[in-house]
Amino acid sequence: IRLPEWPSVELAACAAASTLLLNRYSPLSALLERRASRRAVAFAESADGSAAAPRSLWWMRVGSDRCVPLFTRTCRFDLQPNRFGILGQFGPERKLQLQTYNVSSLIGWDGRVTPNASIELEVYVSNESHALATFEYTKDNNKLGLTFVVPPPAGGWRAHTWQPLVLPIRDRHYSFPRLTPWDNMDRLELYYAHPHQQQQRGDYVRIRNVYLRSSTQAPSSETARYTPCCDLAP
């Protein structure tokens, strides 16, 4: 099929099909991604807001776990003296930006992540006494989203070792889920344990491979073979 014919092929396929299964190798997927990229450029260059904001689309295998990456690169936060234990923040007007803003594909009718839901991430600490303590994935400070007190991994925190964490999402972790703009979640704030205004400098926390997951089975299942999101094939 010649490239100029693709618009008509796309229209015919989308009009006639009851279900579209796309993957990274599909020419139709490449066309949709190209159009989305052009819309993103137009939106970024539109000073008056006349261009519509692009919308991220995700697809998965039927019956497989669904994972949306929030942040996959390695990020280091140096501990700073403060009484609240603020470690760092991703968000608007910040140097750090989340990889994905639109997670609505995982949200059910009640404004909650479709079960079984969890947050996955890997954490590296230089000091076991000052590990990651609070994970606040909210649109506004302390509201509209998810907030966790981060438990230690099995066997406790170990310094200078990457440790995977799976945080099951319970009802108590939500704040106004039906009012939460799940299609524009651009803020994440992290806190460390045992803060002090006279905190010594030199300690740090690293994170990577942060995912929001909707699983076909509970991550606590002892009989299930649980594969991290970062190891799942798209």
Task: Count CA atoms within 13 Å of residue 59 on its CB side.
Answer: 11
CA torsion sign for 24, 226, 118, 231 is: negative
pTM of the model: 0.72
How do the pLDDT tens digits run along the chain, 234 residues long? 455 565 666 666 666 665 566 666 666 666 666 776 777 777 777 766 566 655 555 555 555 688 899 999 999 999 988 888 899 999 888 889 999 899 988 898 899 998 889 999 999 999 999 999 999 999 999 999 999 999 999 899 999 999 999 999 999 999 999 999 999 999 999 999 988 777 778 899 999 999 999 986 655 544 456 788 888 755
pLDDT in tens, 38-67: 777 777 777 665 666 555 555 555 556 888
Angstrom distance (rounded) from CA 99 to CA 74: 12
Token pair for 212: 């929001």
CA atoms of 141 and 169, how far apart (whole Å): 19
The string of pLDDT tens digits covering residues 205-225 is 999 999 999 986 655 544 456
SS3 142: coil
Rg (CA), the chain: 20
Q: Token digits for 147? A: 């907030």
The 8-class DSSP code of residue 170 comes to: -
Name the token pair of 202.
């030199």
